[in-house]
Amino acid sequence: MRYITALLSTIILLASKPAFSQAPLAFDKVQFNTGFGISDRGVPIYAGIDYGLAELISFGGEIQYSAFREKWQEEQWKHSSFLVALNSNYHFDELLNISSVYNVYAGVSFGFAMISSQSEKTDVVINYEGDYHSSLNYSANFGGRYFFTDHIGANLQLGFGTMITGRFGISWLL
């Protein structure tokens, strides 16, 4: 019974909040994003910041870390990836004429991934020459946010490019 009461209370609270929320990222405003995801390079943890460059355009930066394993030449290898990227997004809220609690966007990101690789066997002397190396990264992204309050929302983003990623996190309008 407690579970049902808590669930119904949460639904009512979330359903009533949209009437009080403001439009997402506006000109000259800042938004902080953080969360985790899934990609072809493990489970990334990310943090980023976006700036409202114009009414419907944002520009920002992000960092991302992930660790993953790969079998290459009969050896198990551990990889660590640290990505630093810039991004720009167009926000479709006005074009789609949607409620201000939603934010739908698409854009591009460009950055550099620093990847270190190490064999899990300590006696291995060969150098890693597999598929994962430090490199430039680029992607096309699209996603959306739902704001629970005037300043806090959930975000979901998909990206396709040198990496394929799916992300889920929290956004704070500062």
Q: Return the domain boundaries, the chain.
A: 2-173
pLDDT of residue 24: 61
Rg (CA), the chain: 20
pLDDT of residue 123: 66
Q: Is the pTM of this model over 0.85?
A: no
pLDDT of residue 19: 42
pLDDT of residue 163: 83
pLDDT of residue 41: 84
| Token couple for 101 | 């609690």
The domain defined by 2-173 carries CATH number 2.60.40.1170: no
Residue 131 CB-half CA count within 13 A: 9
| Averages of pLDDT over each 10 residues, the chain, 174 residues | 47 44 75 94 94 94 94 87 97 92 96 90 72 91 95 96 92 94
Distance CA 78, CA 116 (A): 8
pLDDT of residue 31: 96
